[in-house]
Amino acid sequence: MKTIKMLTLMLFCASILISCNENSTKTERNSADKSDTLKTEKAVNMKFYPELTKSIEKIQALGISEAHRESLDKIAAYIRAKQGKNQSCEIIFICTHNSRRSHLAQIWAQTAAENFALKNIITYSGGTEATAFNPRAVAALQRAGFNIDSTGSKNPDYKVSFSDNAKAMNCFSKKYSDKQNPQKGFLAVMVCDSADEACPIVAGAEARVSLPFSDPKKSDGKPEEAATYDERSNQIAAEMFYILSKALVK
C-alpha cells in the first residue's frame, strides 16, 4: 500500500513539473516572438527611398581602392573609438571649392551611418574657399535616389533627404571654417590633393586624414559627364559604407 501511494505521489509531482515546463516554454516563445517583432520594427524604422535602396545594394557589392584602405581604416578606427565611449563624432570632408567631392562624401557618409544604425555621427563639408554645390554632383545624387530640393541661385541651399523618416541635410558651399561647421574636436578628411596640400594643419581638428578622389570636373561638358559623376559618386559611397561598417563596435 505504501508503495502504491508513493508511486501515485511521484506521478502527480511529475505531471506538475511537465505542466510548468510547457508553460515556461510558451512564455519563452511568446517573449521571443515579441522580441523579434520589436527588432523588425526597429529595422524598418529607417526606410530609405526605393531607388536609393537599390543604389545602396549595388554600392555595397563594390570594392574599395587598395590605395585608400589604410586611410579608410584610420577613419573607421576614429569613429569606432568615439562609438565605444558613446561620444559625439563630427567629421568634415574638405576639398578646395566644396562643390563636388566633399558634398558627395558628406552625404554618403551620413547615409551609411544611418544604414548601420550608428548614433551620434554628424557629417559636414567645407572648402578652402566657397563657390556652389555643383549641379552635376547634385544630379548624380538624384540619380542615385536622393530627394533634393533647392533655394537660391548663386550659391543654392540644398535640402538633401535619404528618407522621409529623417531630417534633410542642409548642403551649400562654404569654407571649412564656416560657423555652420564644428570649430574643434572633429575629424578632418581631405578629399582632394589641392586642399590636402593647402591645409597641412586644419585648425580645431582632433585628427586629420588624407583621402583624395579624382575630380569628376574633368568630364564637364563632355558626353561621358554623367557617367563620370556617377562613377565618382559610387566610389565615394562604397568607401563611406566600408568605413561605417568597420566602425561598428563589436
User: How far is the C-alpha of 156 from the C-alpha of 44, rounded, in Å?
Assistant: 33
- Mean pLDDT of all residues belonging to the chain: 85
Residues in the chain: 250
Instruction: For 91-135, write each residue's pLDDT tens digit.
Output: 999 999 999 999 999 999 999 999 999 999 999 999 999 999 999
User: How far is the C-alpha of 216 from the C-alpha of 206, rounded, in Å?
Assistant: 29
User: How far is the C-alpha of 9 from the C-alpha of 239, rounded, in Å?
Assistant: 69
DSSP classification of residue 220: T
CA atoms within 13 A on the CB side of 206: 16
The whole-model pTM stands at 0.82
Task: Find where cell 550659391 sits.
Answer: 155
pLDDT interval class at 29 (50, 70, 90): very low
Three-state secondary structure string covering 166-182: CCCEEECCCECCCCCCC
CB-based contact 83:75 (threshold 8 Å): no
Instruction: Tell me the three state secondary structure of residue 190.
Output: strand
Is residue 39 over pLDDT 60?
A: no
User: Average pLDDT of 154-181?
Assistant: 95
Q: How many beta carbons lie within 10 A of that of residue 238, not counting itself?
A: 20
**Domain residues of the chain, as ranges?**
1-45, 50-246
User: Average pLDDT of 143-161?
Assistant: 93
* CATH class (in words) of the domain with range 50-246: alpha beta
pLDDT interval class at 30 (50, 70, 90): very low
Q: Between 38 and 93, name the one with better pLDDT.
A: 93
User: How far is the C-alpha of 61 from the C-alpha of 245, rounded, in Å?
Assistant: 13
